[in-house]
Amino acid sequence: MKIETILTPAELPVLAQRDLRATACVVFDVLRATSTFVTALHHGAQAIIPVSEIAEAVEIKKSEVRSQKSEAILLGGERNGVRISANGIDFDLGNSPREYTPEKVCGKTIVSTTTNGTRALRACVGAKTILASSFLNLGATAEFLRRENCENILLVCAGTGENQADEDVLAAGALCEMLSGGKTMFSDSAQIAFQTYTLAKPDFSAAICGSENARRLLAIPELRDDVEFCSRHNIFPLIARMNADGVIRSIKN
């Protein structure tokens, strides 16, 4: 098993030139997109459709309205961390995992657009396997990768804006630790993530709360609890897999 890491969103465009047909991509946007998707699936959402642009999300909803299937579709996501209102359309949900309760999302399909997370997922299209992961389901993700005997694993840190996001690198590092041992080989970028996590472990919460995005969320009263929520380990035993149709569904572990 060979593990590599994309540490910053600036590296995402390179993925388009790479042949990923033998690679399993694991995308991390701990604060908050992938944590939210995993939570929604655990609470019974049918599927998540990640898109890059607001107009794409609105168009999918409109096409569902035309085919009278709109009840099953919810619009979710954020810009600048808050719920989207655009072109006279108020999205149904923001990007806080705590909003995605069973009452709201059970049986629904969520079309979501966020600043970094959905962009990172779309950049992996063409890969053999694409997983949306987080601390919430890290154990299940590790077990799946071992069980599937994935040879090439690419850990994709979604980042914050154009910058590296510490919380994503920490999650990538934690997964490296879970997959270490035996014949596992780490690229230098994966070593960086692994070492970053090992150094931060003794005071994990401080490491997460010190990140740029965490500080932003902690400053917004109604969103501050998202940081603690997204830092919980292994509370959802599921794998969130994005299939060739670009739709994320859960595989129970």
Residues that bind ligand MLT (CB under 6 A): 29, 31-33, 78, 81, 95, 114-117
Q: Work out how close the CB of 69 gets to ligand MLT at its nearest, in angstroms, rounded to a whole number.
A: 26
Written as one string, the DSSP assignment of 101-165 is -HHHHTT-EEEEE-SSHHHHHHHTTT-SEEEEE-GGGHHHHHHHHHHTT-SEEEEEE--BTTB--
Q: Work out how close the CB of 4 gets to ligand MLT at its nearest, in angstroms, rounded to a whole number.
A: 22
Report the length, in residues, of the chain.
253
Query: Given the complex with ligand MLT, which of 79 and 104 has the nearer CB atom?
Result: 79
Nearest by Cα to 76 from 42, 30, 117, 26: 117
Query: Given the complex with ligand MLT, which of 80 and 87 has the nearer CB atom?
Result: 80
Q: Work out how close the CB of 191 gets to ligand MLT at its nearest, in angstroms, rounded to a whole number.
A: 26
CA distance 110 to 76: 6
Query: Given the complex with ligand MLT, which of 130 and 179 has the nearer CB atom?
Result: 130
Nearest by Cα to 6 from 178, 174, 151, 190: 190
In this chain, which residue has its C-beta nearest to ligand MLT?
114
Query: Given the complex with ligand MLT, which of 95 and 129 has the nearer CB atom?
Result: 95
Q: Work out how close the CB of 224 gets to ligand MLT at its nearest, in angstroms, rounded to a whole number.
A: 12
